[in-house]
């Protein structure tokens, strides 16, 4: 089954790591290896929590707490057991460059190195985040972001995608490291009640990047985890820029990858034809963190976030006109005068109604109206209206993102809020 992609190795080893973060200074907190014979049979399974000797990092992703790894072996304790399983095997992972970088970081701290000239990457073969790839190929992925669960799903994905995979080669591992035989599996650690992972983790797990260039593919897979807390601090931005550079990506390609990520995140949110307030808030904050135009989110979610609101016309209601309708602008103006409405040139937070040739207008006035939650009414409905009429106008409850200039944390406020888009958070004072 796997002879063609094993590259002369006598077996394949599927690896997965859970880590304290995404960068070179981060540590492994869980490691899983599944060894497959060339006929596809599982011949060995090894997994363990790892004591990272520092903070465990994003518990909201990997669901590992400090208490769970308190009695776990360090990487130095298990390095020999890992190395003997990797020696001479063809390595497989979903985003292999990431897992190799984190694994080699651990070996290098011990003065050793894992040499891999070529491996098999199911991310490259599938073009999808692991969750999306499993869904597409009918593979169960329970407990995502647990090393053994992800490795098990990757092994099954490998069986289905072997014909698409590039050829690997045998790895060379440092066999001089002592073996301890010590493990602490996740299910044997003290159970801890944890919150559900954030929405962005669920959305990002379903992304499909088929057809994208290989370097950008690996970058996007890491990016999904980097923005799991909905913002990027300065260190994360620098680290991501370094990762993009190491993958041969130009600044233009990185910006394009950020737009692709946000668009795919929107696709994921739109999949069930409902955009909840939580999803909308998440999309806006991720777009802001990645410096992607908020219009990408606004335009694509508008239809599912448009509601109707009853507006009663009263004398003095501030009204603004936009667009060229079948009804001449002069007639609209005269009608507004007869009704005693206050006519404004531009949309403000005081505006009570925007009359548009087309309520779906992309004009600047329509954009302001959506930002401020101002109802929008078609010109044809307006011209037939009278004082006291209850008119069904369209409205979108929009938000704006505020970013702290110091730590770059962000949060949302109602679009009509007077808050500036740049303001120190409470922690930064």
- Please state, in angstroms and rounded to a whole number, the distance separating the CA atoms of residues 391 and 11: 71
Distance of CA 7 to the CA centre of its chain: 34
Tens place of pLDDT per residue across the chain (429 aa): 899 999 999 999 999 999 999 988 899 999 999 999 999 999 999 999 999 999 999 998 899 999 999 999 999 999 999 999 999 999 999 999 999 999 999 999 999 999 999 999 999 999 999 999 999 999 999 888 899 999 999 999 999 999 999 999 999 999 999 999 999 999 998 777 777 778 888 888 888 887 778 778 889 989 988 999 998 999 999 999 999 998 899 999 999 999 999 999 999 999 999 999 999 999 999 999 999 999 999 999 998 999 998 999 999 999 999 988 788 999 999 999 999 999 999 999 999 999 998 888 888 999 899 989 999 999 999 999 999 999 999 998 889 999 999 999 999 999 888 889 999 999 998
Range of the domain at 365: 305-396
State the total domains in the chain: 3
Contacts of 188 (CB under 8 A, 6+ apart): none
- Asked whether the beta carbons of 145 and 197 are under 8 A apart, the reply is yes
What's the CA gap between 45 and 66, in Å, rounded? 25
Q: Of the residues 134, 160, 192, which one is the last residue of a structural domain?
A: 192
Instruction: Give Dmax over CA atoms of the chain in angstroms.
Output: 92
E strand intervals along 288-427: 306-312, 318-322, 342-343, 353-356, 376-378, 390-396, 399-403, 410-414
In this structure, the answer to whether residues 39 and 145 fall within a common structural domain is yes
- C-alpha–C-alpha distance, residues 63 and 241, integer Å: 27
- Do 300 and 310 belong to one domain? no
Residue 402 resides in a domain? no
228 and 151: one domain? no
300/311 same-domain check = no
Global pTM reads 0.84
With respect to residue 410, please indicate whether it lies within any of the assigned structural domains. no
Q: Are residues 366 and 244 in the same domain?
A: no
Mark whether 166 and 273 lie in a shared domain. Answer: no
Last residue of a domain, one of 304, 330, 345: 304
Q: Contact, 114 vs 96, CB < 8 A?
A: no
> Looking at residue 79, what is its pLDDT?
98
Q: Which of 278, 304, 330 is a domain's end point? A: 304
Task: Indicate if 115 and 182 belong to the same structural domain.
Answer: yes
């Amino acid at each position: 089954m796997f002879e063609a992609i094993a590259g002369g190795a006598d077996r394949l080893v599927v690896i997965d790591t859970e880590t304290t973060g995404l960068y070179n200074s981060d540590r492994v907190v869980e490691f899983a290896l599944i060894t497959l014979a060339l006929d596809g049979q599982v011949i060995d399974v090894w997994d363990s929590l790892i004591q990272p000797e520092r903070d465990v990092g994003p518990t909201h992703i990997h669901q590992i707490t400090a208490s769970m790894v308190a009695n776990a072996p360090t990487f130095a304790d298990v390095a020999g057991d890992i190395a003997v399983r990797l020696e001479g095997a063809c390595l497989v992972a979903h985003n292999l460059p990431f897992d190799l970088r984190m694994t080699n970081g651990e070996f290098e701290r011990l003065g050793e190195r894992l040499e891999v000239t070529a491996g098999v990457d199911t991310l490259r073969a599938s073009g999808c985040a692991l969750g999306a790839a499993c869904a597409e190929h009918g593979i169960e992925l329970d407990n995502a972001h647990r090393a053994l669960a992800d490795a098990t799903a990757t092994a099954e994905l490998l069986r289905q995608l072997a014909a698409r995979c590039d050829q690997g080669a045998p790895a060379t591992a440092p066999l001089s490291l002592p073996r301890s035989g010590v493990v602490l599996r996740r299910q044997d650690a003290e159970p801890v009640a944890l919150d559900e992972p954030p929405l962005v983790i669920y959305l990002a797990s379903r992304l499909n990047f088929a057809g994208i260039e290989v370097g950008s593919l690996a970058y996007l897979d890491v990016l999904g985890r980097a923005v799991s807390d909905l913002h990027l601090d300065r260190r994360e931005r620098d680290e991501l820029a370094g990762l993009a550079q190491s993958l041969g990506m130009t600044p233009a390609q990185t910006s394009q990858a950020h737009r692709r990520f946000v668009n795919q995140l929107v696709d994921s949110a739109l999949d069930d034809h409902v955009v909840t307030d939580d999803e909308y808030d998440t999309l806006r904050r991720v777009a802001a963190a990645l410096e992607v135009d908020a219009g990408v989110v606004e335009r694509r979610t508008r239809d599912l976030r448009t509601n109707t609101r009853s507006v009663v016309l009263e004398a003095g209601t501030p009204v603004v006109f936009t667009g060229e309708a079948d009804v001449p602008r002069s007639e609209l103006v005269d009608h507004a005068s007869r009704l005693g409405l206050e006519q404004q040139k531009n949309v403000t937070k005081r505006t009570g109604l925007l009359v548009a040739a087309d309520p779906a207008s992309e004009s600047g006035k329509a954009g302001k109206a959506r930002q401020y939650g101002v109802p929008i009414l078609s010109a044809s409905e307006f011209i037939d209206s009278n004082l006291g009429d209850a008119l069904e106008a369209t409205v979108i409850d929009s938000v704006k993102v505020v970013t702290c200039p110091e730590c770059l944390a962000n949060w949302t406020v109602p679009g009509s809020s007077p808050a500036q888009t740049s303001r120190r958070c409470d922690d930064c004072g």
